[in-house]
């Protein structure tokens, strides 16, 4: 309690109001959610620890006892809950827990059948299809009934599904050849291409009727020697679209049943296969528990700043605690605790070793500090990075052609591996944030519209697929264009051109000196200088106050170390977590903890026009 009181005093000292703002009005505080069911003794201790909510499974078949009976322990403890697994049988049938089976048993069986008989196309019919109108209505009805039963208890959110995906998580598969999916695919193509002649010209086909249009499957695409993968890539884009549409329909159903209710998914995967095209997915739900990988968290929050992102913790070792802080700084508004073995709190209510390790971190995140960033606005530097799912798809197929591996045997874990697009995305983002620059991710559609905002630099990470409209907008962009390779060798549908459309300034994503030199010439400089390249910086604005957070990359080291922070002019700096004014100066020496961040308020100094040293 002394820490909470000190933080309150500190916030008042630096002039920060404690009330909610519009940005955090629907979720004003950091939430800590215990996933497993717990008894009353455990819940009492968990609540003292800072846990704010629990989980309650949905009654999908109207077979369970009433809500007040199933949630009796949570109600007695005064804890709300979120509703779990309402539509997992629809949104995650190939990664779904069932007694006595592997969680991905259906997917493994589909792979086995596809290897045994390569002519059996029935293995590429998703069951159920995301485009099946009867299933869509079934899910809407189930959600409506669930919200009606639960609304008076005000759940945090309604989870449409856990570890959702088109197939098994982020695994690749040639879904979905069901009649419903193909009908939806043709309608979507007609909307996009306008005429059958335009589609035939792009695909290199000669379909006489829209009803005859069929996608190219992966085996055929791998045999193409002309570089025209459009009929294959469009089908993969359709599956991402159908996944996002199905989630959006469910979100709309939740809102229709209760305007104040929130809908979400859990276990969001690395950008790639399985429906994890965040240009479509980021706006499909209100809440998303994110497995922070491949920059999916900053991408999703760049594309939809109103998205409520949650993290998950599986342990309280230093690396795990570092991850909690890291994800909070990157934008999560809550944490789900996974605790299969009662390591946080024992059945008799005794705080366990893991619980003791969590205690100081959760106390800070549940206090004014945790709410502070929720109520603050992230400050982006005038740098945009293109997030291009089309480039990822095209590169994946090129890699399969080159390596000759059997895509039928590729698991979700294998699909987490790098390719040139993922490497470039990750390293550009890492290099920038390690040098004090926070980039904003943009979509191909934004680029095509010339919606660059205040960007002075545009980065194209291995952007081999690019539309003509995007290339024209880039040509008229009044800023610096940087990339690791010529851009637009393929069009947005995956059809190879004779030559790339865009020749960016070539700078390798790990070439920090070259990248920062290009940015400086474009007038982009960090808010503050730092004599370290393994520290990520985050800048937030809360009213008139600027907040600067610094966190070291995690290493097994247990000791802190010092770094030098510099500004272009004398600046007032206050250490918010240590409750200590650092004074007014241009250069400060800071001791950085190996796990927890340093959080400073700064005034009278940095802005985008300053020229700090580094």
pLDDT score recorded for residue 580: 92
Q: How many residues does the chain have?
A: 614
Q: Are residues 399 and 499 in the same domain?
A: yes
Q: Are residues 402 and 514 in the same domain?
A: yes
End position of a domain, from candidates 521, 545, 575: 521
* pLDDT, tens digit, 9 for 90 and up, residues 566-613: 999 999 999 999 999 999 999 999 999 999 999 999 986 444 333 333
* pLDDT, tens digit, 9 for 90 and up, residues 143-189: 999 999 999 999 999 999 999 999 999 999 999 999 999 999 999 99
Q: pTM for this structure? A: 0.93
Q: Are residues 515 and 551 in the same domain?
A: no
End position of a domain, from candidates 521, 537, 570: 521
- The overall average pLDDT reported for the chain is 93
Where residue 567 sits, what CATH number does that domain have?
A: 2.60.40.1180
Where residue 427 sits, what CATH number does that domain have?
A: 3.40.50
Whether residue 426 is contained in a domain is answered as: yes
pLDDT score recorded for residue 605: 45
Structure tokens at 337: 């605790």
* pLDDT, tens digit, 9 for 90 and up, residues 338-382: 999 999 999 999 999 999 999 999 999 999 999 898 899 999 999
Domain that holds residue 454: 383-521
Strand order in the sheet with 81-84: 31-34, 332-337, 308-313, 287-290, 263-268, 158-162, 81-84, 54-57
Kind plus residue range of the DSSP H or E element containing 600: strand 598-603
Whether residue 510 is contained in a domain is answered as: yes
By the 8 A CB rule, do 30 and 365 touch?
Answer: yes
C-beta neighbour count of 435 within 10 angstroms? 22
Whether residue 114 is contained in a domain is answered as: no
Burial of 308 from C-beta contacts in 10 A (0-12 / 13-18 / 19+): buried
- Give me the helices (H) in 99-203, please: 105-116, 133-150, 179-193, 196-203
* pLDDT, tens digit, 9 for 90 and up, residues 496-548: 999 999 999 999 999 999 999 999 999 999 989 999 999 999 999 999 999 99
pLDDT score recorded for residue 319: 96
Q: Are residues 392 and 517 in the same domain?
A: yes
Burial of 501 from C-beta contacts in 10 A (0-12 / 13-18 / 19+): buried
Q: Are residues 486 and 572 in the same domain?
A: no
End position of a domain, from candidates 495, 521, 547: 521
By the 8 A CB rule, do 236 and 177 touch?
Answer: no
Q: In the Cβ-directed half-sphere of 392, how many Cα atoms lie within 13 Å?
A: 27
User: Poorest-confidence range of 23-27, 257-261, 549-553?
Assistant: 23-27
Q: Are residues 403 and 460 in the same domain?
A: yes
Whether residue 74 is contained in a domain is answered as: no
Closest C-alpha to 190, from 213, 216, 215: 213
Number of domains the chain is built from: 2
pLDDT score recorded for residue 407: 96
Contacts of 192 by beta carbon, 8 Å cutoff, 6+ apart: none
Q: Are residues 450 and 470 in the same domain?
A: yes
pLDDT at 16 over 70: no
Mean pLDDT across the stretch 237-254? Answer: 98
What is the DSSP pairing of strand 332-337 with strand 383-386? unpaired
Kind plus residue range of the DSSP H or E element containing 316: none
Whether residue 578 is contained in a domain is answered as: yes
* pLDDT, tens digit, 9 for 90 and up, residues 202-223: 999 999 999 999 999 999 999 9
Q: Are residues 533 and 422 in the same domain?
A: no
By the 8 A CB rule, do 202 and 226 touch?
Answer: no
Whether residue 235 is contained in a domain is answered as: no
User: Poorest-confidence range of 10-14, 106-110, 165-169?
Assistant: 10-14
pLDDT score recorded for residue 5: 36
Q: Are residues 453 and 504 in the same domain?
A: yes
Contacts of 284 by beta carbon, 8 Å cutoff, 6+ apart: 244, 245, 247, 248, 251
pLDDT score recorded for residue 138: 97
Please state the φ and ψ torsions of residue 348, each to the nearest 5 degrees: -85, 5
* pLDDT, tens digit, 9 for 90 and up, residues 336-345: 999 999 999 9
């Amino acid at each position: 309690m002394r820490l909470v009181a000190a933080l309150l005093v500190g916030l008042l000292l630096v002039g920060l109001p404690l009330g909610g703002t519009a940005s955090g009005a629907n979720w004003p505080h950091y939430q800590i959610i215990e996933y497993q069911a717990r008894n009353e003794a455990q819940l009492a201790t968990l609540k003292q620890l800072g846990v704010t909510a629990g989980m309650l499974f949905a009654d999908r078949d109207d077979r369970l006892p009433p809500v007040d009976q199933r949630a009796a322990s949570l109600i007695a403890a005064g804890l709300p809950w979120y509703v779990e697994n309402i539509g997992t049988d629809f949104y995650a049938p190939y990664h779904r827990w069932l007694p006595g089976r592997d969680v991905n048993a259906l997917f493994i069986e589909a792979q086995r059948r596809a290897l045994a008989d390569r002519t059996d196309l029935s293995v590429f019919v998703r069951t159920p299809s995301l485009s099946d109108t009867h299933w869509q209505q079934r899910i809407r009805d189930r959600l409506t009934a669930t919200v009606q039963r639960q609304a008076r208890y005000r759940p945090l959110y309604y989870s449409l599904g856990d570890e959702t995906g088109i197939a098994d998580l982020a695994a690749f598969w040639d879904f979905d050849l069901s009649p419903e999916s193909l009908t939806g695919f043709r309608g979507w193509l007609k909307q996009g291409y306008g005429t059958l002649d335009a589609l035939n010209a792009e695909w290199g086909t000669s379909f006489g009727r829209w009803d005859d249009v069929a996608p190219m499957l992966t085996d055929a695409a791998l045999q193409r020697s002309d570089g025209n993968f459009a009929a294959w890539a469009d089908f993969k884009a359709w599956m991402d679209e159908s996944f996002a549409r199905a989630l959006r329909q469910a979100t709309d159903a939740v809102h229709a049943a209760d305007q104040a209710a929130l809908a979400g998914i859990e276990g969001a995967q690395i950008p790639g296969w399985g429906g994890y095209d965040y240009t479509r997915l980021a706006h499909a739900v209100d809440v998303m528990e994110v497995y922070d990988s491949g920059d999916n968290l900053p991408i999703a929050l760049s594309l939809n700043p109103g998205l409520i992102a949650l993290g998950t913790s599986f342990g309280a070792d230093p690396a795990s605690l570092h991850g909690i802080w890291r994800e909070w700084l990157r934008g999560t508004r809550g944490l789900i605790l996974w605790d299969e073995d009662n390591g946080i709190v024992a059945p008799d209510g005794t705080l366990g070793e893991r619980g003791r390790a969590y205690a100081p971190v959760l106390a800070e995140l549940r206090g004014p500090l945790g709410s502070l960033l929720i109520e603050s606005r992230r400050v982006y530097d005038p740098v945009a990075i293109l997030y291009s799912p089309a480039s990822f798809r095209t590169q994946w197929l090129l890699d399969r052609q080159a390596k000759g591996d059997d895509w039928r045997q590729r698991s979700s874990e294998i699909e987490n591996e790098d390719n040139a697009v993922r490497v470039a995305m990750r390293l550009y983002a890492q290099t920038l944030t390690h040098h004090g620059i926070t980039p904003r991710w943009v979509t191909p559609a934004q680029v095509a519209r010339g919606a660059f905002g205040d960007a002075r630099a545009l980065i194209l990470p291995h952007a081999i697929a690019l539309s003509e409209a995007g290339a024209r907008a880039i040509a008229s962009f009044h800023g610096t264009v940087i990339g690791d390779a010529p851009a637009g060798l393929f069009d947005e549908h995956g059809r190879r051109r004779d030559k790339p459309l865009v020749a960016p300034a070539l700078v390798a994503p790990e070439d920090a000196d070259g990248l920062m030199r290009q940015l400086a010439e474009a007038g982009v400089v960090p808010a503050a200088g730092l004599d370290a390249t393994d520290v990520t910086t985050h800048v937030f604005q809360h009213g008139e106050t600027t907040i600067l957070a610094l966190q070291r990359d995690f290493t097994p080291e247990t000791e802190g170390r010092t770094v030098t922070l510099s500004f272009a002019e004398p600046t007032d700096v206050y250490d918010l977590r240590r409750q200590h004014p650092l004074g007014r100066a241009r250069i400060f020496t800071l001791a950085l903890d190996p796990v927890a961040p340093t959080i400073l308020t700064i005034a009278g100094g940095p802005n985008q026009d300053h020229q700090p040293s580094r």
